[in-house]
Amino acid sequence: MRASYQKDLKVLSEYIIRGDSFHHLANVVRLRVGEEILLLNGQGLEVRCQVDQVSKKEIFLKTLFHEEKTLPYRIDLALGMPKKDALDLSLKQAVELGVHTCYLVRSSHSQMKLPEADRLQKLLISALEQSNSPHLTEAVPADFDEIDYTFYDQVIVLDSQSKGDQRPLGKGKYLLIIGPEGGFSPSELEFFDNVPNLIRLNLPTPIMRTPTALSCGVGVILQRLMD
């Protein structure tokens, strides 16, 4: 279903879409009378509407029903920033997989600087609309030593350079740590030794690209939550 992000969305019986959202829905998506659309605020509110009228500058919607959705898990991500295309794909996957917060880390082997905030937000919103995700991932610049690791019940670092732990994953709030194309530096691996509740996860696979590692890592966590 077509979706539109509306930051200040509230539950109403009718809506009028104007401005940039109107242009996209009317001229790009070509929304027509009678079609349904999902309005999302990125914080769990979904409002399903039907197009009642399309004018030259406005789209009029009637509410069919609404729902507040909450995720049954909390997964955050600390991402050593890869190259641009891999970073873009990683952020899109983070939204699709329900990642709450993505810490963007300029790690030792990162090869790019932090993207502009407006560009990041547009990319995340686009992923939310394409996936119909009720929750918008927040991208936060940070260094590894600025993250509050005590907030999490389990910190999981996907590390192909180490043997890996045999301890089973628990349940609770997770932080998944993924490195860039060059992996983690020796100093970063040493830093992780002092992180509480940390498990090193070494999957029996060839070396993965950052977006692939992200999807696999979140998949392992989601599987544990389903047990």
Q: What pLDDT digit, counting tens, does each position of 102-161 carry?
A: 999 998 878 778 889 999 999 999 999 999 999 999 999 999 999 999 999 999 998 776
Q: Which helix (DSSP H) or strand (DSSP E) does residue 155 occupy? A: strand 154-158
All CATH 2.40.240.20 domain ranges of the chain, comma separated, are 2-68
All CATH 3.40.1280.10 domain ranges of the chain, comma separated, are 74-226
Percent of residues, the chain, with pLDDT higher than 70: 95
**Range of weakest confidence among 38-42, 114-118, 211-215:** 114-118
CB-CB contact of 59 with 20 (8 Å): no
pLDDT grade, residue 36 (50/70/90)?
very high
| Residue pLDDT, tens place only, 3-30 | 999 999 999 999 999 998 988 898 888 8
- Residue 41 predicted with pLDDT over 80: yes
pLDDT for the residue numbered 162 = 66
Give me the amino acid identity at 93: Q
pLDDT for the residue numbered 204 = 80
List the one residue out of 135, 136, 159, 134 whose CA is nearest residue 78. Answer: 159
pLDDT for the residue numbered 75 = 96
Give me the amino acid identity at 73: Y
Q: Which helix (DSSP H) or strand (DSSP E) does residue 16 occupy? A: strand 14-17
> 3.40.1280.10, 2.20.25.240, 3.40.50.150, 3.40.50.1100: which CATH number matches 74-226?
3.40.1280.10
CB-CB contact of 153 with 197 (8 Å): yes
CATH architecture of 2-68: Beta Barrel (2.40)
- Residue 223 predicted with pLDDT over 80: yes
**Range of weakest confidence among 40-44, 59-63, 162-166, 199-203:** 162-166
pLDDT for the residue numbered 169 = 65
pLDDT for the residue numbered 33 = 95
pLDDT for the residue numbered 113 = 80
Give me the amino acid identity at 150: T
Q: Is the dihedral of CA 5, 6, 11, 16 positive or negative?
A: negative
